[in-house]
Amino acid sequence: MQALIDVILPVFLVIGTGYVVAWRGMISEQGIDGLMKFAQGIAIPMLLFLALYRLDLGAIFDWRLLVSFYAGALGGFFAGLLGARFLFGRDWEDAVAIGFVCLFSNSVLTGLAITERAYGPDALSGNFAIIALHGPICYAVGILAMEGVRARGSGMLRTLGRVVKGLATNALVIGLALGAAANLSGLVLPRVVTDAVDLIARAGLPAALFGLGGVLFRYRPEGDFRIIAYAVGVSLLLHPTITWTLGRIFSLDQAAFRSAVVTASMAPGVNAYLFANMYGRAKRVAASAVLVATAASILTAWGWMTALG
């Protein structure tokens, strides 16, 4: 119970405050979008840059950590895909979009915030290793699957080209890449520079959590409640269960194990809706699942953290 009060509830109260502020019209949609642009386009990339700049890269990229997390993510994707197709009778394109919901956990906004509050800033190395590969792996899986079921070879190549370009211009990816490059090159930045970057970076997570609440206000649950509940269950229960099991089999050290399980237990990120919107498939299910899972994860994240001890 103490973990719920001290660690998880403050994070979700910030999200809830953003939700209420948007609901009451105290900040416009444009204002929320501007806040999210600052958080995701400037402050969090700087946070990721500093993290990669300061870390021992050889130590954080532990194959056992990555296999444990991403096997759970892929397990969630296939459970979502096949469940949507054969349990709920959705067509294959809808099924891929729903599978993506079960694949893409919110590793940055809530995963980082909860891990840091629970275990301290020094416990985030595993989170950063997961985040470095999260977008490229998840979008590659989702796009390959969607274009595969559409069976359009040339269209697939064009879409992959757009995604590669999109990732190359993504602020989070740029922040990670620049941090890794500075680290590997041995570049030593003046302290005045790192202190300034750190000041901006520290605003990133609170601003992003507040903005996430405002964004979620737009995605009210509508219909399709059984399949939404299924997607939420796969995201919050199956993914972390697989990650937990493999982490134990591989004897992950405590810090990496915590990072993997906490990140796996997060609700789907807003990118799950963006993917569905990109293809125009299962948008209502994706948007509603993001909102419902974010609310439900208050209790499920508490449960996983209690089990972690």
Mean pLDDT throughout 229-240? 97
Give the per-residue pLDDT at 175.
86
Query: Which residues on adjacent β-strands are paired with residue 236?
Result: none
pLDDT > 80? residue 169: no
Neighbours of 28 (CB within 10 A): 11
Structure confidence at residue 177 as a pLDDT band (50, 70, 90): confident
pLDDT at 24: 92
* 111-123 average pLDDT score: 86
Contacts of 226 (CB under 8 A, 6+ apart): 88
State the DSSP string of 101-157: HHH-B-TTHHHHHHHHHHH-GGG-HHHHHHHHHHHHHHHHHHHHHHHHHHT-HHHHH
Give me the chain's average pLDDT, please: 86
Of 142, 82, 108, 104, the residue nearest 239 (C-alpha): 104
Residue 52 CB partners (closer than 8 Å, separation 6+): 128, 132, 175, 176, 178, 179, 180, 182, 183
Which segment, 3-7, 109-113, 186-190, is predicted with the most confidence on average? Answer: 186-190
Residue 220 above 80 pLDDT?
no
pLDDT for residue 163? 63
Instruction: Render pLDDT for 236-265 as a digit per residue (tens, 0 to 9).
Output: 999 999 999 999 999 999 999 999 999 999
Higher pLDDT, 84 or 119: 84
Mean pLDDT of 98-119: 90
Which class is domain 2-308?
mainly alpha
Question: Tokens standing for 152?
Answer: 């359009």
d(CA 242, CA 307): 14
Q: Is 213 helix (H, G, I), strand (E, B) or coil?
A: helix
Is the pLDDT at 131 greater than 80? The verdict is: yes
* Threshold 0.85, pTM exceeds: no
Chain-centroid distance of CA 102 in Å reads 11
Q: pLDDT tens, 143-161?
A: 788 877 876 555 656 666 7
Supply the pLDDT for residue 157: 66
Least confident of 27-31, 64-68, 238-242, 283-287: 283-287
What's the mean pLDDT in 183-197? 91
pLDDT band of residue 228 (cuts 50, 70, 90) is very high
What mean pLDDT comes out for the span 45-50?
88
